[in-house]
Amino acid sequence: MTIVATDLFAAVAKWSHKGPDKPHLGGVTFRDGEMYATDGHRMVRVPMETTLEVTIRRDHIQAAAAAQKVIRFSALIQNKRPVIEISMFRNQVRMDLGSLTLTVTPLTHDVFSRATLDSLSSGLVVTRGPVNYAFDPHLLAAISEVNDAACADTDGGSVKLLKWGSPTRGSAAEPILFEGHGGILFMIMPVHNRCL
C-alpha cells in the first residue's frame, strides 16, 4: 500500500498528458520509490515510499480527489490533511478515500525505463546562464502547485534551478532541471520564443 497526500497526487496528475492522442502519457506512474508524470514536454518526479509499480490514469486521479473533497466536506472532517491509500487487488488499482474506495484499471504503458529517467536528469551541460531560454510561464505555476502540496506541513519551500543545457541554433533543446521540496525534480523543455 502507498499513501499519498490528495493535493500532491492531484497536482502531479496535472503534469500528465490530458488528450486522447497520447494515452501512454496520460497518468501518474509509481515505480522505484517515485511517483512521476510527464506530458512529453515537462516531467515531475516525486521521491516517496512506495513499492507500487503501476500507472494510474489522470482522469481517475482527478475523480478520486474530487470525490474525496465532497466526502470530507459533507462529513465536516477538516482536521487532517486528506490522503489517498493506493493498493493493488487482482490487477486493479484500489484508491481508498476514507469512506469510499474506487477500483480502476491501471494504464498498461510504462513510459520510461529507470535508465531513461536518470539520463534525463543528469548530464546536462551547464553554461554561463539560461540566456535565450524561454518556457511557458504556466509551468512555473505547475511547479509551485506541486512544491506547495509537498511541503504543506511546513512553512513552505523554495525551488532551485539545478541545470540547463546549452541551446545552439539547429540543435535539440535540453531540459531545464529544477529541484523542489524533498528532492522533487521538475524538468521542463524550453521553447524558442521570437518575442524575446
Q: What is the domain-level CATH number for residue 140?
A: 3.10.150.10
Query: How much of the chain, in percent, has pLDDT values that exceed 90?
Result: 36
Q: Residue 131 in contact with residue 123, Cβ under 8 Å?
A: no
**Which amino acid would we find at residue 84?**
I
Whether 10 shows a pLDDT value over 80: the answer reads: yes
Inside any domain, residue 194: no
**Cβ-proximal residues to 74 (8 Å cutoff; 6+ apart), any chain:** none
Largest CA distance in the chain: 58
**Given the C-alpha cell 518575442, which residue does it identify?**
195
- pLDDT recorded at residue 126: 46
- pLDDT recorded at residue 124: 47
Sign of CA dihedral 170, 17, 2, 145: positive
Whether 128 shows a pLDDT value over 80: the answer reads: no
**Cβ-proximal residues to 64 (8 Å cutoff; 6+ apart), any chain:** 6, 9, 84, 95, 97, 102
Whole-model pTM?
A: 0.78
Whether 111 shows a pLDDT value over 70: the answer reads: no
Q: Residue 13 in contact with residue 58, Cβ under 8 Å?
A: yes
Can you give the residue range of the structural domain that contains 70? 2-188
Distance, in Å, from the CA atom of 175 to the CA atom of 182, rounded to the nearest integer, reads 21
Span 134-160, average pLDDT:
81
Q: How many domains does the chain divide into?
A: 1
Higher pLDDT, 183 or 163: 183
Inside any domain, residue 37: yes
